[in-house]
Every structure is written in C-alpha cells, then in structure tokens.
Amino acid sequence: AKRRITAVDIAKRKNGDPVVALTAYHAHTASILDEHVDFILVGDSLGMVMHGMESTVPVTLDMMIVQGLAVMRGSKRALVVVDMPFGSYEASKEQAFHSAARVMKETGAGAIKMEGGEHMAETVEFLVRRGIPVMGHIGLTPQAINTMGGFRVQGKSDENQAQTERDAKAISDAGAFAMVIEGTVEPLARKITEDIPTVTIGIGASPACDGQILVLEDMLGLNVWTPKFVQKFGSIREHIEEAVTGYADAVRDRSFPGPDHVYARKQK
Ligand code: KIV
Ligand code: NA
C-alpha cells in the first residue's frame, strides 16, 4: 500500500515542483482530489462554503473535526491538513496544543494549519516541538476580519509589507513545515518566497510561490461569487442546475422513476 504524503515530504519541496493543493470538506470530493493533489486542506472556509456564514469566525473545533474525519475517510494518498478555527488556539500555546492534539487524535490528519505571524510564532514552535506539524498562514488572515475591517489585500504600505515579512520569517524560524501566503501584493509574496527556506503556498499571492491552493468550490464554479484571484476551472453550478431541472421535469411528467428504477416482487 502506498503511504500518505507527509508534512516532511511537503517541507522538502522548496524550489522544487510546485506543490498542488485544494480544499475539501467531505469524503466524495476528497476521493476525487486524492490522486491529483499533494495535500488537501480542510479549511475553515467550510463555514462560508457549506454553512453560508459571512466569515470564518463562527466555525468551531467540532465542525473541523467532523469534516476532517470525512476527508480522511475519503482519501488515502494526499496529506490532509486541518485548519484550526478562530478561538481554538490564540489564547495560549497550551490551548493550541490541546485543540491541535484533539484534531490529530480524532481525525488522523497529518498536520494542522493556523493563522498568524510574529505573535503566533511561540505557539507554532511549542506545537512542532511536541510532534504536531504546523502549516502557517500569513498575509490576509480571514479570522482577523473584524480587526482588519474587511478582507484587505496585505502589503500595500511599506509598514504593512515590513510586518508581513517579519511574520513570514517568524513562522519559518518557529519550524512550520510550510505556510500559506494569502491575499498579498504579488511582489511581497515573491520576495518572501525567495527570502525564507520554508515552502510557501500562495492564494491571491504570486506564481513564484512554492505551491498554490484554491477553495475547491470556488475553482469549480459552484459558488455564486468568486474573488479576483480565482480562476474558474469548471462551471459545476450550471451542471447541477441542469441535473436538478432534468430531475424535476422527469418527476413531474412521471418519466422518473422508470422500469429500471423499481423493484419486482419476485426475483428468478
Ligand atoms: O480555509 C481555507 O480554505 C483556507 C485556504 C483558503 C488557504 O485557509
Ligand atoms: Na482557513
């Protein structure tokens, strides 16, 4: 049996072949992605995509564990990374360890991801030293929407650029095996990727990053609205609509179920 890709495998991909990643929240999509991506992220974006929340702030640790387990069941090759949701890790490094250990034990996932730069570096190091592979997440950090005042592209001012660079270095020094760089001006993500030895995974960042990630439903064209940084590689929304109208019509004109879809009383 092929073994799963590990966080250690991903860490070796600096300046190598681009790391390919997508999000998934449930078993069927995970099973499709499994052979084609290096890691699957069970992102807290599930709050917005699956539950219609306006931000990721309300997502709970239990929600992440349920969906993380589903993705583990649906996959066998890709590394599965589970997001730590808002409120489950920021209070202290001990809180972060307890929450992350629950995720690792209850889902079997190979790594966790947490948002934050310099101020989270001590926590990242605490977890890594205790056997939990951590993927960082810097730049635009959606869990901070309420202090940012909205989803704001990072690195537009010199001051913010310098802070984001310090964040990248701190998370790298703390021992993260990789880090997501989200929603920054392109030259900043490029510079960070060149400056740090840690694998960078871009989303709304730069083609120079060591890998790329997108939210699956965004790139499939399932969501009504997609951000600027998303290329739609599919139009699944139209496909679903076509199937649903076909079904509704068939039920209404009694052409479904047909003879093939019903059970006979006796089988020979
Ligand atoms: O929650 C998520 O889907 C993410 C990715 C966009 C990186 O954090
Ligand atoms: Na996330």
User: What residue has token string 């635009």?
Assistant: 140
What mean pLDDT is reported for the chain? 97
How far are the Cα atoms of 45, 152, 181, 232 from residue 141, in angstroms, in the given order?
Answer: 12, 9, 9, 23
Q: Whose CA is nearest to atom 8 of ligand 1?
A: 43
Q: Quick one: residue 249, left, alpha or beta (phi over 0 = left, psi -120 to 50 = alpha)? A: alpha
154 in a structural domain: yes
Q: Which structural domain range is residue 11 located in?
A: 7-235
195 pLDDT exceeds 80?
yes
pLDDT at 1 over 80: no
Dihedral in degrees, nearest 10, Cα atoms 31, 32, 36, 37: -60
Count of domains observed in the chain? 1
* Cβ 171 vs Cβ 136: under 8 Å: yes
Higher confidence at residue 2 or residue 155? Answer: 155
CA atoms of 57 and 66, how far apart (whole Å)? 17
In a domain, 104, yes or no: yes
Do residues 182 and 141 lie in contact, with contact meaning Cβ atoms separated by under 8 Å? yes
| Model confidence at 25: pLDDT above 80 | yes
- Residue 267 in domain: no
Nearest CA to ligand 1 atom 1: 43
In this structure, is residue 254 part of a structural domain?
no
Residues designated as active site: 182
Tokens 């590689």 locate to: 233
Residue 249 CA from chain centroid, whole number: 37
Question: Which of the four pLDDT bands, split at 50, 70 and 90, describes residue 226?
Answer: confident
Position 268 scores a pLDDT of 63
Q: Is the CB of 44 under 6 A from ligand 1?
A: yes
Residue 15 Cα, ligand 2 centroid: separation in angstroms?
A: 24
CA distances (Å), origin 29, targets 8, 23, 137, 243: 24, 9, 23, 18
Residue 25 counted as domain residue: yes
Minimum-distance ligand 1 atom for the alpha carbon of 45: 1
Determine the pLDDT at residue 61: 98
Q: Whose CA is nearest to atom 4 of ligand 1?
A: 43
As a whole number, mean pLDDT of residues 232-251 equals 97
* Domain annotation covers residue 54: yes
Bond before 227 cis per omega within 30 degrees: no
| Cβ of residue 43 lying under 6 Å from some atom of ligand 1 | yes
- pLDDT value of position 267: 67
